[in-house]
Amino acid sequence: MDWETALSAGIRFTFIKAGGASNYGSYADPQFERNSAECAALSIPAGYYWYFYPTIDPVAQADYFWNLVEGKPRNLPLVLDLENSTDVSPKKLTNRAGAFTKRLFELSAQYPMLYSRSTFLHENTVYADFWSQMDLWIARYTVKRKPWTNPGDPSIVTPPYWDDWLFWQYSNGGNGLGPDYGAESKSIDLNYFNGDELAFSLYAGLVPEEIQVGIIPIETVEILATVLNIRSLPDENSNDLGNLLKGCVLPVTETQGDWKRIEGWIHGEYTKKA
């Protein structure tokens, strides 16, 4: 990847492959160190993903992944890339993905995000409690406006354990856009974030320039609602400035009654102290 070209093409974030596993065991991606260093130098918000292989010890995979990414600069979650079953039963695959997830939580104090396809999840996994702890990065290659719930969409494209998505990989092989974004390959994976620029900045911990100087936070809160509106004034009828997603942690600079000021105003009923 030529990351300067990618940045000039307008990318806002990236997910970098840190490594994965195969029949031969765990491995680091040969471009990981270079990619992570160059994105950090160019201030491109990045997350790191791990290609999971079900027949290799899941705890050992999580340990290997963490050893690669610990201390690396990142703004986005670590990711469990789950798209290979290797003929393991759905129950066993789910248990092994759960072991990987729980081990990574022990190491990083955060649950990873899940990358997968809806059809894969339906056919190769079963329900488990840990799915609800993971945000979803869904893959579906389509020109439709949403990854699911479009008119005419079959039920199989709606994932089994999520009501919404955080990232959507909407295009990959065959798009011919690789060179436009600095890739050596003809094609490139392209993704959307489920929110506007402000929501992404807050999610990724990118503080807008206009509130970097002269404002001292009085508290820090975590968003409890799935989606929370940001208002221009401490009034539910004032202008809607965008949305925050559940789990966002952000500083509060002022309060008025039940309202809390961030960039705009949010209702404190849907927050807790972080």
What would the 3-class secondary structure string for 49-98 be? EEECCCCCCHHHHHHHHHHHHCCCCCCCCEEEECCCCCCCCHHHHHHHHH
Q: Would you state the pLDDT for residue 231?
A: 86
Residue ranges matching CATH 3.20.20.80 in the chain: 3-194
Superfamily of domain 3-194 in the CATH hierarchy: Glycosidases (3.20.20.80)
Residue 209 pLDDT greater than 60, yes or no: no
The answer for residues whose C-beta is within 8 angstroms of residue 48's C-beta and 6 or more apart is: 15, 16, 17, 18, 32, 36, 65, 68, 69, 72, 74, 78, 79
The answer for residues whose C-beta is within 8 angstroms of residue 225's C-beta and 6 or more apart is: 246, 270
Question: Averaged over 239-260, what is the pLDDT?
Answer: 85
Q: Would you state the pLDDT for residue 226?
A: 86
pLDDT above 70 covers a percentage of the chain that reads: 96
User: Residue 152 phi/psi, 5° resolution?
Assistant: 90, -5
Residue 220 pLDDT greater than 90, yes or no: no
Residue ranges matching CATH 2.30.30.40 in the chain: 208-273
User: Residue 204 phi/psi, 5° resolution?
Assistant: -85, 0
Q: What would the CATH number be for the domain defined by 208-273?
A: 2.30.30.40
116 forms beta bridges with 138
Cα–Cα distance measured from residue 101 to residue 254, given in angstroms and rounded to the nearest whole number: 37
Residue 263 pLDDT greater than 80, yes or no: no
Residues 1-24 pLDDT 10s: 999 999 999 999 999 999 999 999
Residues 53-89 pLDDT 10s: 999 999 999 999 999 999 999 999 999 999 999 989 9
